[in-house]
Amino acid sequence: MNQVPRGEGSLEANRTYFGSRLFGWLCTAATLVCVLALIGLLVTVLVNGIPWLSWTLVSSYPSRDPEKAGVLSALVGSLWLIGLTAIISIPTGVGAALYLEEYSANTWWKKLIQLNIANLAGVPSIVYGILGLGLFVRAMSLDRSVIAGALTLTLVVLPIVILSTQEALRAVPGTIRSASYALGATRWQTVWNQVLPAAMPGVMTGVILAISRALGEAAPLVAVGAAAYVAFLPQSLSDEFSALPLQIFNWAERPQEEFHGLASAAIVVLLAVLILMNAGAVFVRAKYGRRIKW
Amino acid sequence: MATPPATPAPPQPSLTARGRSAQRSLEGAIRFFLMACAAVSVLTTVGIVVVLLVESLQFFQKVSLVEFLTETRWTPLIKPQHFGILPLFCGTLLVTGGAILIAAPLGLGAAIYLSEYAPNAVREVVKPMLEVLAGIPSVVYGVIAVMTVSPIIRSVFHSQSIFNALAASIVVGFMILPTIISLSEDVLRSVPRDLRSAAYALGATKYDVTVKVVFPAALSGIIASCLLAISRAVGETMAVTLAAGATPNMTLNPLESVQTMTAYIVQVSKGDTPAGSVEYQTIFAVGLALFISTMVLNLLAQWILSRMREKYE
């Protein structure tokens, strides 16, 4: 029907049509490149890392000999770090979000805190490391201890916990609060018994995001002076520690190929821990999500 | 009908006066605790500023601000010492510029595809995948740069340097892609449907609608997303340290090894510089420069985004 050429006008139309299609293809190609980059990244890590995955890797301390080197102290150090970071950052972050969403009036003070949190979320993690070095390591003389590292990481992830908790709280309908107040509940009773449980899946998602970030951060730990070579496991809060991303960094810096393989294998371990944590979050969300209906 | 009007229940004497006042003071204590939690975030900012300023001021007593900003050599760890931040700034600029040159076209293309072209099913698969890309730790990108990207660059350009700014730019570009994609996609989708319908009604093709109507309408938000991505690239540390090397270098040649501000901080932190020495204080001065540059970018982006939100909501 429309295929009969109708002079110059139709040529023009055909060209725009082709241009339009070309543009669509280009955009699709851009998306494909992004997806392929992700796949390529994972495949590269797996191909290089799997030959080095062994029981020795998970059960040994770092060593000069790549055949004997392992990530035990780094893995345990990372678990200490994320455990402590979770214990400190979850109550603080959720508390701050509750204050902002449920308690404070919309004043300049709230706006200031809000702007401040948005900014903190964009501060490079190495700057938090410098803060940790100046504040926790030197001024509070906690030295290069696991608690100094955890406190630094807490500051790094706090904005993530606060912002995602706020979003989850905002999604809870106001009627729930009104109903609770109407039954005579106080503000805290309303928050604790109604709002928080309803917001739980969203809060959990934010917490897992934050802990994943803490698990992968190396820069702030380098700045507070955590060592890559630690041949013992931390026993108390004041012990020295290492962490998985630090160990990976240390191995990747060396010129020998063997250590690059080891670094890839350690990345596989790191990603495995990340995936386990995220799977846990999905499970918790599914469990809580089913109970809440309105 | 016949049902009697609901009368309010008589106040339950469940709480005695003493119990009620205990309840009230508990409420007050909780409120105070929550406020303290929120104050932690303000104190963090104060802490950052104080720590950076105190040590930087001591640094600037030994090295003049003019030298810091205009000297073109940065050799604080070897004699003769020179403290000019320009080479570090130049390294950061080179890596960040390269990264945004890679990430902006790819990211905007993907964002346009996801918001304007992709069927729902595809979007629901691709978006979480790209979020995975955002969740991968930066040190992993560093390992990829050293292990894979750098050897490819060396064989393509026949260059000698294992460390080069280009490898760092490429991996950082992919690191900041998710920032650009997810934010840009949000602003593209927030462009009102009416605008699109009106353009289609005038006979515009999909291309016309996307490029001449939707894109300009979302432009300020897209610029903001790029600014946030640039800020992330400026602050990116581990991948850059591994890929770009540790040579403070005033060059715009991406095949040479450079040192960024972040990489310098890592280099000094790894060594054992005694507190109070001028070498130790340099990291606070460099950190201050880094903090100021990222904060300016972030504030600008947030300001643009909030103005955009006012326009369409």
Per-residue pLDDT reduced to its tens digit, A107-117: 888 988 998 99
Q: What is the pLDDT of residue B14?
A: 52
Q: Quick one: DSSP state of residue B74?
A: B
- Compute the C-alpha angle B275/B231/B95, nearest 5°: 85
The string of pLDDT tens digits covering residues B42-87 is: 999 999 999 999 999 999 998 888 888 888 888 888 878 888 889 9
CA B93 to chain centre: 15
Q: What percent of chain B has pLDDT above 70?
A: 94
Query: Can you name the residues that pair with A240 across neighbouring β-strands?
Result: A145
Q: Which of B31, B41, B298 is closest, CB to CB, to A162? A: B41
Mean pLDDT of A124-137: 93
Helix (H) or strand (E) holding B18: helix B17-62
Residue A71 makes CB contacts below 8 A (sequence gap 6+) with A57, A58, A60, A62, A244, A247, A266, A269
CA B286 to chain centre: 18
pLDDT band at A201 (very low <50, low <70, confident <90, very high): confident
Q: What is the pLDDT of residue B4?
A: 45
How many CB atoms are closer than 10 A to CB B75?
Answer: 14
Residue with tokens 């990829």: B144
Q: Are B76 and B59 in contact (CB under 8 A)?
A: no
Residue A86 makes CB contacts below 8 A (sequence gap 6+) with A207, A211, A214
Query: Can you name the residues that pair with A145 across neighbouring β-strands?
Result: A240
CB contact under 8 A, A119 and B299: yes
pLDDT band at B10 (very low <50, low <70, confident <90, very high): very low
pLDDT band at A94 (very low <50, low <70, confident <90, very high): very high
CB contact under 8 A, B242 and A252: yes
Q: What is the pLDDT of residue B1?
A: 39
Q: What is the pLDDT of residue A255?
A: 83
How many CB atoms are closer than 10 A to CB A60?
Answer: 17
pLDDT band at A289 (very low <50, low <70, confident <90, very high): low
Provide, as residue numbers in chain B, all residues whose Cβ is less than 8 Å from the Cβ of A271. Answer: 136, 140
pLDDT band at B214 (very low <50, low <70, confident <90, very high): very high
Q: Which of B182, B223, B122, B118 is nearest to A24 (CA)?
A: B118
Tokens of B311: 């326009």
CB contact under 8 A, B113 and A30: yes
Residue B165 pLDDT > 60: yes
Residue B301 makes CB contacts below 8 A (sequence gap 6+) with B224, B225, B227, B228, B231
Query: If contacts are CB pairs under 8 Å, which of residues 44-73 in chain B contact chain A?
Result: 44-45, 47-48, 51-52, 54-55
CB contact under 8 A, A35 and B130: yes
Mean pLDDT of A33-44: 91
Three-class SS state of A140: coil
Residue B305 pLDDT > 70: yes
pLDDT band at B3 (very low <50, low <70, confident <90, very high): very low
Q: Which of A92, A125, A134 is closest, CB to CB, to B40? A: A92
Q: Which of A94, A117, A223 is closest, CB to CB, to B265? A: A223
Q: Quick one: DSSP state of residue A99?
A: I
Nearest CA in chain B to A113: B42
- Compute the C-alpha angle B185/A155/B35, nearest 5°: 95
Choice between A31 and A8, residue whose per-residue pLDDT is larger? A31
Q: What is the pLDDT of residue A16?
A: 65
Report chain B's mean pLDDT, rounded to a whole number: 87
Q: Are A182 and A194 in contact (CB under 8 A)?
A: no
Provide, as residue numbers in chain B, all residues whose Cβ is less than 8 Å from the Cβ of A104. Answer: 35, 38
Choice between A94 and A54, residue whose per-residue pLDDT is larger? A94
CB contact under 8 A, A248 and B140: yes
Q: What is the pLDDT of residue A284?
A: 75
Provide, as residue numbers in chain B, all residues whose Cβ is less than 8 Å from the Cβ of A141. Answer: none
Q: What is the pLDDT of residue A60?
A: 79
Choice between A244 and B18, residue whose per-residue pLDDT is larger? A244
Residue B195 burial class via C-beta count within 10 angstroms: exposed 0-12, middle 13-18, buried 19 and up: middle
pLDDT band at A246 (very low <50, low <70, confident <90, very high): very high
Helix, strand and coil in chain B, % to nearest 5? 75, 0, 25
DSSP E strands in chain A: the ranges are none
Q: Quick one: DSSP state of residue A52?
A: G
Q: What percent of chain A has pLDDT above 70?
A: 92
How many angstroms separate the CA of residue B86 from the nearest CA in chain A?
19
Q: Are B183 and B115 in contact (CB under 8 A)?
A: no
Question: Residue A269: phi, psi to the nearest 5?
Answer: -60, -45
Q: What is the pLDDT of residue B16?
A: 65
ipTM, 2 dp: 0.87
CB contact under 8 A, A96 and B242: no
Query: Could you give the C-alpha distances from B2 to A151, B6, B8, in angstroms and in order?
Result: 65, 12, 18
The dihedral through the CA atoms of B47, B51, B57, B63 has a sign that is negative
Query: If contacts are CB pairs under 8 Å, which of residues 74-133 in chain B contact chain A?
Result: 105-110, 112-114, 116-118, 126, 129-130, 132-133
pLDDT band at A279 (very low <50, low <70, confident <90, very high): confident
Q: What is the pLDDT of residue B9?
A: 45
Choice between A173 and A279, residue whose per-residue pLDDT is larger? A173
- Compute the C-alpha angle B68/B70/B73, nearest 5°: 75
pLDDT band at A13 (very low <50, low <70, confident <90, very high): low
Which of B143, B162, B296 is best to mutate for the A interface (most A CBs within 10 A)? B143
Q: Which of B246, B105, B111, B240 is nearest to B172 (CA)?
A: B240
Distance CA B172, CA A249 (A): 16
Residue B7 pLDDT > 70: no
Question: Residue A152: phi, psi to the nearest 5?
Answer: -60, -45
Radius of gyration of chain B (CA): 27
Q: Is any Cβ of chain A less than 8 angstroms from the Cβ of B144? A: yes
Q: Is any Cβ of chain A less than 8 angstroms from the Cβ of B277? A: no
CB contact under 8 A, B287 and A44: no
Global pTM value: 0.88
How many CB atoms are closer than 10 A to CB A223?
Answer: 29
Distance CA A21, CA B106 (A): 18
Q: Which of A268, A225, A273 is nearest to A76 (CA)?
A: A273
Q: Is any Cβ of chain A less than 8 angstroms from the Cβ of B211? A: yes
Mean pLDDT of B238-252: 86
Query: If contacts are CB pairs under 8 Å, which of residues 4-43 in chain B contact chain A?
Result: 12, 23, 26-27, 30-31, 33-38, 40-42
Q: Are B179 and B225 in contact (CB under 8 A)?
A: yes
Q: How many residues are there in chain A?
A: 294
CB contact under 8 A, B51 and A134: yes
Please tell me which of A160-169, A203-212, B143-152 the model is most confident about, judged by mean pLDDT: A160-169
How many angstroms separate the CA of residue A119 from the nearest CA in chain B?
7
Tokens of A132: 């940790």
Distance CA A130, CA A117 (A): 19
Q: Are B266 and A219 in contact (CB under 8 A)?
A: yes
Residue A177 pLDDT > 70: yes
Residue A7 pLDDT > 60: no
Query: Can you name the residues that pair with B74 across neighbouring β-strands?
Result: B83
